[in-house]
């Protein structure tokens, strides 16, 4: 297929123009007009690029790409090396950030819920980034943390806010610990995200809401895989997910 066709499909499917994001969504680096093999991953690191090169991929699709607001505009150092590697080896780079977090079918939030068996009842917060729903049966905090660790192969940090069981839950993958106050206002029993900050411990206890940090990388492995599968099934393109392990 043609790169233009792939970009148009992804932009429309993920509704990228509806988001105010911290980086450009869609095509970030253009290296070849034809797409035959896609590699997908969480972050466009040098390690992922080199893995794509070894697999003769011509297109890389990721959740975390380049050109973030506030970063240096120069293409030097590690960023220069990454982009040079892509262009030299004829590999396009497509990145989808917030659109891939909240998409109702392939988004990170809904994919996490499906893997862990959580019912999705709605969303709230800035641009609908935080999802909420119910567990099939109430669980104590330690059991929910264990389910998450087993379900997505991660190491979870659980902060207890009391002895109440968890039935209603809110979650947002990645670095979303700042939404804990909004989650508490919704009256949920627990909030799950990827990362944790120093104030999160105190806020959880004072707001009376359990908090689980399940890993930024671990919670965001699934959206890009689901997107790549949709593309492969629709256009008959070969695709492969490559996981570059990251404990954060």
Same domain, 167 and 83: no
| Token digits of residue 126 | 């800035």
Instruction: Report pLDDT for 198.
Output: 98
Range of the structural domain that residue 225 is part of: 3-98+220-241
How remote is the C-alpha of 166 from its chain's centroid? 24
Same domain, 111 and 132: yes
Q: pLDDT tens digits for 32-85?
A: 999 999 999 999 999 999 999 999 999 999 999 999 999 999 999 999 999 999
Within 8 A by CB and 6+ apart from 199, the residues are none
Instruction: Report pLDDT for 73.
Output: 93
Is residue 115 assigned to a domain? yes
Instruction: Report pLDDT for 24.
Output: 98
Instruction: Compute the CA torsion angle 200, 205, 206, 212 (nearest 10 deg).
Output: 40
Same domain, 92 and 115: no
Is residue 10 assigned to a domain? yes
pTM (two decimals): 0.97
Is residue 246 assigned to a domain? no
| Token digits of residue 106 | 């392939």
Which residue ranges in the chain fall short of pLDDT 50? none
Where does 44-91 show beta strands of DSSP type E? 59-64
Is residue 247 assigned to a domain? no
Q: What's the CATH number where 81 sits?
A: 3.40.1390.30
Cα–Cα distance for residue pair 217/215, rounded to 1 Å: 6
Instruction: Report pLDDT for 30.
Output: 98
Collapsing DSSP states into helix, strand and coil, what is residue 112?
A: helix
| Residue whose structure tokens are 């087993």 | 150
Q: Within 10 Å of residue 122's Cβ, how many Cβ atoms?
A: 11
Same domain, 107 and 212: yes
Q: Within 10 Å of residue 153's Cβ, how many Cβ atoms?
A: 12
DSSP H helices, 153-238, are 180-185, 198-207, 216-219, 222-235
Percent of the chain at pLDDT exceeding 90: 100
Cα–Cα distance for residue pair 96/148, rounded to 1 Å: 25
Instruction: Report pLDDT for 187.
Output: 97
Instruction: Report pLDDT for 32.
Output: 98
Classify each residue of 155-177 as buried b or exposed e, where b means 16 or more C-beta atoms within 10 Å of its C-beta: ebebbebeeeebebbbbbbbbbb
């Amino acid at each position: 297929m043609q790169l233009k066709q792939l970009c148009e499909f992804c932009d429309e499917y993920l509704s990228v123009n509806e988001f105010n994001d911290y980086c450009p969504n869609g095509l970030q680096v253009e290296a070849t007009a034809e797409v035959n093999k896609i590699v997908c991953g969480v972050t466009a690191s040098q390690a992922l690029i080199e893995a794509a090169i070894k697999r003769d991929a011509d297109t890389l699709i990721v959740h975390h790409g380049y050109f973030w607001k506030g970063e240096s505009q120069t293409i030097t150092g590690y960023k220069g090396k990454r982009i040079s590697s892509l262009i030299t080896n004829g590999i396009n780079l497509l990145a989808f950030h917030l659109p891939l977090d909240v998409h109702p079918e392939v988004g990170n939030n809904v994919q996490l819920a499906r893997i862990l068996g959580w019912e999705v009842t709605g969303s709230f917060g800035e641009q609908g980034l935080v999802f909420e729903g119910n567990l099939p049966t109430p669980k104590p905090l330690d059991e929910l943390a264990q389910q998450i660790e087993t379900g997505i192969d991660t190491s979870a940090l659980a902060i207890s806010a009391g002895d109440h069981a968890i039935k209603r839950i809110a979650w947002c993958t990645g670095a979303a610990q700042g939404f804990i106050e909004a989650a508490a206002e919704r009256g949920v029993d627990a909030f799950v995200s990827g990362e944790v900050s120093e104030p999160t411990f105190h806020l959880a206890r004072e707001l009376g809401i359990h908090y689980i940090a399940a890993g930024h990388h671990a919670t965001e492995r699934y959206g890009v895989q689901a997107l790549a599968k949709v593309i492969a099934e629709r256009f008959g393109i070969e695709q492969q997910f490559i996981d570059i392990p990251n404990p954060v």
